[in-house]
Amino acid sequence: MQYWVFFIGGVGGDGFANLLEHGTNITPVDRKLKWRLRRQYYPGEKVAFTNAIYLNPPFEGKIGGAESVILNKTSASNLDLIEPTEYYRYLVDRKINTVITAHSWKYNFHINQSKYKNCFEEHQHKIWLYSLDTQRIIDDFCVKNSHLKSVQLGTFQIVAKQQFARYKSPLYGTPDLNYDTFIDIDLVWDSWDYLNNILSEIGIDLDRKYYEEYLDISHRRKKLP
């Protein structure tokens, strides 16, 4: 099974996917089992994770997201740029469990016209990771993407607030990709039982020690009053 974690930037999807990679029956898509932390300091004890690379150069971003701008400006024929790595294809061919991160915005555009569509969607389980704390999403996105001009000018913050106000949770106006599982990241941070019950239902075996380590690394552990 390939577990695809879809999310809006700022929700915490890269870190959550990194946690799932530590499942005893999960193999990282790039063979590297580690905590994928960005080597950068963020104010307020903020921590940012990166995603495992599952696409060949020149395109190594996530399918469906803002990283895909190079593809959105090209013709459909150039969608061949979206090419899964050899090891990713190896895992899919042998039905070895792995985790993939993606955004939903341009997913259908990229996947439906890709010659690797069957590889991407074979034994695919779609997870929508969301948060009801929209202000936290905006704040985290801005801290970790302070280099973006729209963040610096404050236009991103305005548009994001309008978007969240206009659409209902948990999709917030993003395309509905017929998700198999919905997970509230805020509840994940609050309760091991909540997460463990869901993972057990979808076939992921995660040792609690990695959950506890993830909370400490990401600074998401609840502080007692």
Q: Given this model, what pLDDT does residue 69 score?
A: 47
Burial of 197 (0-12, 13-18, 19+ CB in 10 A): exposed
Beta strands in 67-216 (DSSP E): 98-102, 124-130, 181-184
pLDDT tens-digit map of 190-225: 999 999 999 999 999 999 999 999 999 999 987 654
pLDDT tens-digit map of 161-197: 999 999 999 999 999 999 999 999 999 999 999 999 9
Higher-confidence position of 92 and 43:
92
111 pLDDT exceeds 90?
A: no
Q: Which CATH number fits domain 2-133+178-218: 3.40.50, 1.10.8, 3.30.460, 3.40.720?
A: 3.40.50
Average confidence (pLDDT) over 89-104:
96
Residue 52 near residue 36, CB atoms below 8 Å: yes
Classify residue 37 by its DSSP letter: B
Residue 175: asked if its preceding bond is cis (omega within 30°), the reply is: no
Average confidence (pLDDT) over 24-51:
89
- Residue 46 pLDDT level (bands cut at 50, 70, 90): confident
Torsion angle (degrees, nearest 10) of CA 58, 62, 67, 73: 70
